[in-house]
Amino acid sequence: MRKISLLAAAAALCVIAVPAQAADVEAGKAKFQQFCATCHGATGHGDGPAAAALKPKPRPLDDPEWQASVDDAHIKKVITEGGPAVGLSPMMTAWGHALKGDDLDNVVAYIRSLDD
């Protein structure tokens, strides 16, 4: 009996949890504009106002080849730990203090929505 009610509770939790886990591209876009667009550009094209002074410049995140070459774990690591964590420039600083949990997933979903 106890086992059955535990199972029912677990099943109910899954049903509730699924929609909450679906990443929100619009929310991710808002965070991207807030934290990332100065360098990466409003649409991730690498043409933000600060990009001209950057060396190396951020690659266009809407490049399908780059999109295909990285997995979400790589993108999350760059964002939370900064460029040096994956062998890239320290000009890409760590954002783990500002972006975590759903916010981080949403930003990744926004970046993934740019590949066209």
- What is the binding site for ligand HEC (CB under 6 A)? 35-36, 38-40, 50, 54, 56, 58-59, 61, 70, 75, 78-79, 83, 88-89, 91-92, 95, 99, 107, 111
CB of 42 to ligand HEC, least distance (A): 12
Tell me how far apart the alpha carbons of residues 37 and 104 are, in angstroms, rounded to a whole number: 15
Min CB(24)–ligand HEC separation in Å: 15
Helix ranges restricted to H, 1-116: 2-21, 25-35, 37-40, 64-69, 72-81, 101-112
Of 25 and 75, CB closest to ligand HEC: 75
**Are 70 and 42 contacting, i.e. CB atoms less than 8 angstroms apart?**
no
For residue 64, is the peptide bond before it cis, meaning its omega torsion is within 30 degrees of 0? no
To the nearest whole angstrom, how small is the minimum distance from the Cβ of residue 46 to ligand HEC? Answer: 8
